[in-house]
Amino acid sequence: MNQTQVEDSTQVYFKNVHPKFPDGGKMTQYLESLKLGDTLTFRGPSGRIQYTGPGTFAVKKLRKDPPIIYKASKVNLIAGGVGITPILQLIRHAVKDSNDKTKMALLFANQTERDILLRDELEDVAKKFPGRFKFWYTLDKAEEGWQYSQGFINEDMIKEHLYPATSDTLTLMCGPPPMIKFACMPNLEKLGHDPDRCIAY
């Protein structure tokens, strides 16, 4: 049996508890709509990526493979929707260690501004650790006055808001498979990122 530590990385939004989510979170609403006898299929966590300490990652290409060790002083993080959950867990772990000088840049894609999970915490981390963590959002549908990007992740967003390709840069991604396959990987490769150092959760 695989076990993954989640140490407070998940927030649950029940109905009428959180002012930003009066109807509850999307998962809460979905679960409430199920009828007795309905079934759910869950995937993951696969537990293939482990952050072992300052700038060091143990990555298994397949779950049964021995881990490959990657070192990086700069880590690009790309998340789509709920894909922020393991990404935030990594961010929390890294900034907790005062000896860890790894720099992280996050590009976080969502459908609407209301869909940005854990926004307050991400922005708080950026304020507390400005030399270590920066973020940028992109939305499918943005309201007037939105100060970040709009549209799918593209080459320009990656170039402007993430670290450039070097032998000391690692890119971690978590989100819908089409986002990773059609938006992230082709644009990272165009910008010279080594596909072996671009890893999806």
Q: Is 7 exposed, middle or buried (0-12, 13-18, 19+ CB in 10 A)?
A: exposed
CA–CA distances in Å: residue 169 to residues 83, 125, 141: 20, 21, 31
> Tell me, what amino acid is at 48?
R
Tell me if 39 is assigned to a ligand binding site.
no
Tell me if 56 is assigned to a ligand binding site.
no
Torsion of CA 142, 156, 201, 178, to 10 degrees: 70
User: Which residue pairs, CB below 8 angstroms and at least 24 apart, start in 145-152?
Assistant: 146/113, 152/109, 152/179, 152/183
Tell me if 26 is assigned to a ligand binding site.
yes
Nearest CA-CA partner of 49 in 38, 39, 40, 58 = 58
Q: Which residue numbers belong to the known binding site for FAD?
A: 26-27, 85
Q: Which residue numbers belong to the known binding site?
A: 26-27, 85
